[in-house]
């Protein structure tokens, strides 16, 4: 009889835990949310506001809320600025496109500059060109200087 009562109590306590299909991870959620006072992610912040949000996350996870439900509730309460990464649609898409566009424009500029620089240098020196285009006076002076070392 006592065993039956213990099993029944265990089932009553275990039922809410079994209702959570996939519990949200507090550690992961703390990387997705930003502290409203110091503007760092919750996992890096030690401010009182961050501690309050962490406590709220713990309560939401205990109520078996999914990660998306928790994020939606936080955005509803604090606004989109609570999220650590911008959305990938609408106006927030600019935060993803501008850096990538800047990298592409920089690479194109470097390629164009390198091509123009290599074309402006001229070809290789002609063989037997008489010392690389020195004037006759300079050639004579070089020959005299070299003759002193022989």
| 41-77 confidence digits (pLDDT tens) | 888 888 998 899 999 999 999 999 988 899 999 899 9
Average pLDDT over residues 119-131: 58
The pLDDT value given to residue 59: 92
20 pLDDT band, cuts 50/70/90, is low
CATH topology of domain 20-93: Helicase, Ruva Protein; domain 3 (1.10.8)
Q: Residue 1: beta bridge partners?
A: none
140 pLDDT band, cuts 50/70/90, is very high
Mean pLDDT, the chain, rounded, equals 80
Q: What is the CA radius of gyration of the chain?
A: 36
Question: What residue ranges do the domains of the chain occupy?
Answer: 20-93
Whether 131 shows a pLDDT value over 50: the answer reads no
Q: Where would I find the H helices in the chain? A: 2-19, 26-32, 48-62, 67-78, 94-120, 130-133, 136-148
Whole-number Å distance between alpha carbons of 92 and 133: 60
Q: pTM value?
A: 0.47
Whole-number Å distance between alpha carbons of 81 and 92: 11
């Amino acid at each position: 009889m006592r065993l039956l009562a213990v099993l029944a109590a265990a089932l009553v306590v275990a039922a809410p835990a079994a209702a959570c299909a996939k519990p949200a991870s507090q550690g992961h959620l703390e990387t997705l949310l930003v502290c409203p006072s110091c503007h760092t992610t919750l996992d890096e912040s030690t401010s009182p506001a961050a501690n309050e949000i962490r406590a709220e996350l713990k309560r939401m996870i205990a109520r078996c809320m999914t990660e998306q439900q928790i994020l939606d509730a936080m955005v509803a309460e604090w606004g989109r600025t609570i999220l650590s990464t911008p959305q990938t649609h609408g106006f927030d898409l600019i935060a993803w496109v501008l850096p990538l566009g800047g990298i592409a424009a920089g690479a194109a500029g470097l390629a164009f500059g390198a091509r123009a620089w290599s074309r402006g240098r001229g070809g290789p020196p002609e063989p037997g060109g008489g010392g690389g285009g020195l004037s006759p006076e300079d050639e004579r002076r070089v020959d005299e200087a070299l003759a002193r070392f022989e």
